[in-house]
Structure 1
Amino acid sequence: MNATPTPASAPRIAVIGAGPGGLTCARVLERHGIAVTVYERDASADARDQGGTLDLHADSGQIALAEAGLLDEFFALSRPEGQAKRALNRHGEVLADYTPPADEDAAPEIDRGPLRTLLADSLAPGTVRWGHALRSAAALPDGTHRLTFDNGTTADADLVIGADGAWSRVRPLVSDAVPVHSGVTFIEAHFDRVDTDHPEVAALVGDGHTFATGDHKGLLAQRNANQHVRAYIAVREESEGGRPAGLPGDTEAVRAALLEQFTGWDERLRLLITDNDGPYVHRPLFVLPAPHTWPHTPGVTLLGDAAHLMSPFGGNGANLAMLDGCELALALARHDTVDAAVTAYEEVMLPRAAALGDGADILARVFGPGDRTAADVPDFGREKEEYRRAAAAYGNR
């Protein structure tokens, strides 16, 4: 994809959030000679755990990385073997066991931390202003916006791009929508040095992902880099005032409560509850009810979870955020005005997100009553074929 010449004007562009979408947007803008500033609440790229592994799809995340000039670097860091998938029922019976071919590149895995570092390090020095948590964004009489940060600094921008996730501080400028609890909560558990210290968990998870669901619950695990496994213990959880009530805070009390909920499940699966290193992490799943749209608002737009917060099932979140960021940057490079660029971007992004929905129906199906059967398991090989087909169609637009 080739860009038309950059507009002569130099708008002040502020990206709020240095996640995959915001950093991709900034990288593509800089490749087209457009200055941008990214404001991020974290003190540095590695100030906190970035989360688990991502599969970057050929028809979305990889398209964005190619436009960012980082696709080869991504493949060098990624784990193609991480595309392996094993599905079981709650009794431990294997329903599907997919091993990718050695040359499968439709959706390789990469941990969130290395991906963030790859994108952040590709930007010009000073592009990311770490330690800038947005407190408020307010419209000014001249059509620009003033950003106020918790550290006491302010900045004015001609375009504010909300890439600040589920609880976006930018979203209220265009929409009064707020995330709602999906009814499902993940309790995250960690396993370090899994091959040596937790060999039974290592065997269960293999090179990629293992998941078992049934009776409104689930046990899911993913291999990360450096012999690390993250498990997600999925439970139905009632909400109070829009937020889930939560399990007990003490680690042993949480473990006891979870073991009671998973009574009767195969003991190999229950290792994901009993053998973890350290405390559990409470991760309720929220979604933005779809379709989430807003009237075109000069000087502001959204991307990624700020625009379309979805269930993690399907792996669309980070992939769409990166594609959003890429397409918004290209629109800004190809149009004479910011307003025309944002309009063109939203005309593509909003319908695409609406068509995918918020994933609440997937959660209801995956964590439904009774036992799963082989018929409930997706065809993982066909999924990869669909990513390649859609990537080819995208390139031929």
Structure 2
Amino acid sequence: MRTPRIAVAGAGPGGLTLARVLQTHGLPVTVFEIETAPGAREQGGTLDMHAGVGQLALAKAGLLDRFRVLSRPEGQEQRTLDESAALLRHRLPAPGEETKPEIDRGVLRELLIESLAPGTVQWGRGVDAATPLPDGTCRLSFRDGSAAEFDLVVGADGAWSRVRPAVSPGTPEYTGVTYVETVFEDADARHPAVAELVGDGGMAAYGRDRALIAQRNGNGRIRVYAAFRGPRDWDVRAGVDLGDGAATRAYLLGLFDGWDERLRDLLRGNDGPFVNRPLFALPVPHRWEHVPGVTLLGDAAHLMPPLGVGANLAMLEGAELAEAVAAGPDLDAAVRAYERVMLPRAERAARFCADGLAMLISPDGVEGALRLYERLAEARR
């Protein structure tokens, strides 16, 4: 059998895991990434790698031991508070527990990139479109005007995927919830009250249709998210210039008026700017009829609210697709088999995340969040 020509659009966790597992099976692959270098863009916050999902993908990639060296098991601590900062739920990981240890996105990306053969990722090579061809291959067009043909193109290029239109007209829709993000640097030394409130992992305080969420990252950093239901253009309607930190802070403090001052301090004294992050999701279900020569994984396939599921699934999908391709001589049959497993599993996860967001940021406030956590606990029993 001729060695298949495989292209991956996007150097996120899913695309890089796919490339790594393909290479462990001796198959060549090229990853095309619009970013000009690995450190060209700040990669965001922390990820919890779930046993049996993200950790299974890392095991398939031969990287689980290295991941455990880099991860933060103490980050599994979770605190749930109400508007008065009363601690209503406190989950501490057991000694040696590795259910879902945390790792910074940038650290995980570096681990995956370093595991690849030199030159696997072509930086600064943004994908513009994927065009399936009559012979079952796919033409990949790049933003620099060039093009190349491959036996398989995998869209791992995120929420606004340029590959997705080759298989589906699906478009992300605004969920009605926005996160406004900021950051505290060297929190233990410079912001001890914030560090004490958050603990070693994550803290979330819930009120009516809003929440304050904080996550400890590596290197002493704590990221804070003010979450609320509202129109996508809330800033325009409120007359808030997002480039004006003081004006943004004043508006957010108004949203959380009456909350305990320890919680409101999460919106004061921050070291970074306020970054507006409206949450989008693909319709559920998001499925497509198989198209030879092209498929999707991760957010390109099933963008969902950020409830700790998406990156884990993307990595497992990358590993499973690579194994399917490596296992048999029929490339198209391998992709079909992958999609038969991936699509219904992703649908279940997307429904859970949509329902979960509706419970977490709801008129019921903290009671909705506690019901969700109880539902999760029952599912684990």
Alignment equivalent of 2:306, drawn from 312, 326, 332: 312
SS of the residue 2:128 aligns to: strand
Question: How far did 1:282 drift?
Answer: 0.7
Cα gap change, 1:172 to 1:377, in 2 (>3 Å): closer
Alignment equivalent of 1:287, drawn from 260, 265, 281: 281
User: Partners of 2:59 and 2:135 in 1: how far apart?
Assistant: 37
Question: How far did 1:50 drift?
Answer: 0.5
Question: How far did 1:330 drift?
Answer: 0.5
Does 1:275 pair with 2:269?
yes
Cα gap change, 1:234 to 1:93, in 2 (>3 Å): same
User: Partners of 2:370 and 2:125 in 1: how far apart?
Assistant: 48
User: Partners of 1:238 and 1:280 in 2: how far apart?
Assistant: 18
User: Partners of 1:301 and 1:248 in 2: how far apart?
Assistant: 40
The amino acid of 1:107's aligned partner reads: K
Corresponding residue for residue 58 of structure 1: 51
* Aligned partners of 1:304 and 1:321 also within 8 Å: yes
Q: Unpaired segments of 5 or more residues in structure 1?
A: 1-7, 390-397
Post-superposition CA distance 1:358-387 (Å, at most 9, x none): 42222121111144248436159958x94x
* Aligned partners of 2:298 and 2:311 also within 8 Å: yes
Percentage of matched positions with identical amino acids: 56
Alignment equivalent of 1:43, drawn from 27, 33, 36: 36
SS of the residue 1:239 aligns to: coil
Does 1:378 pair with 2:373?
yes
User: Partners of 2:316 and 2:275 in 1: how far apart?
Assistant: 29
Output the TM-score relative to the length of structure 2.
0.94
Cα gap change, 1:245 to 1:157, in 2 (>3 Å): farther
SS of the residue 2:366 aligns to: coil
The amino acid of 1:277's aligned partner reads: D
Runs of 4+ deviating beyond 4 Å: 243-247, 379-383
The amino acid of 1:101's aligned partner reads: A
* Aligned partners of 1:91 and 1:265 also within 8 Å: yes
Question: How far did 1:98 drift?
Answer: 1.2
Superposition RMSD in Å? 2.0
Question: How far did 1:17 drift?
Answer: 0.4
* Aligned partners of 1:209 and 1:222 also within 8 Å: yes
The amino acid of 1:61's aligned partner reads: G
User: Partners of 2:136 and 2:34 in 1: how far apart?
Assistant: 25
User: Partners of 1:102 and 1:137 in 2: how far apart?
Assistant: 48
The amino acid of 1:136's aligned partner reads: A
User: Partners of 2:372 and 2:10 in 1: how far apart?
Assistant: 35
- Count the aligned residue pairs: 376
The amino acid of 2:371's aligned partner reads: D
Corresponding residue for residue 257 of structure 1: 251
Post-superposition CA distance 1:332-371 (Å, at most 9, x none): 0112111000000000000111122342222121111144
SS of the residue 1:378 aligns to: helix
Post-superposition CA distance 1:265-297 (Å, at most 9, x none): 111011111121131011111011111100000
User: Partners of 1:318 and 1:119 in 2: how far apart?
Assistant: 13
Alignment equivalent of 2:162, drawn from 147, 166, 169: 169
SS of the residue 2:348 aligns to: helix
Cα gap change, 1:266 to 1:202, in 2 (>3 Å): same
Question: How far did 1:322 drift?
Answer: 0.3
Post-superposition CA distance 1:125-176 (Å, at most 9, x none): 1111011111222233433222222234322111010000110000000000
SS of the residue 1:95 aligns to: strand
User: Partners of 2:362 and 2:375 in 1: how far apart?
Assistant: 21
The amino acid of 1:338's aligned partner reads: L
Corresponding residue for residue 3 of structure 1: none
Corresponding residue for residue 179 of structure 2: 186
Corresponding residue for residue 80 of structure 2: 87
User: Partners of 1:164 and 1:298 in 2: how far apart?
Assistant: 19
Question: How far did 1:200 drift?
Answer: 0.6
Corresponding residue for residue 330 of structure 2: 337
SS of the residue 2:42 aligns to: coil
Post-superposition CA distance 1:91-143 (Å, at most 9, x none): 11111111111201111000000100000110001111011111222233433
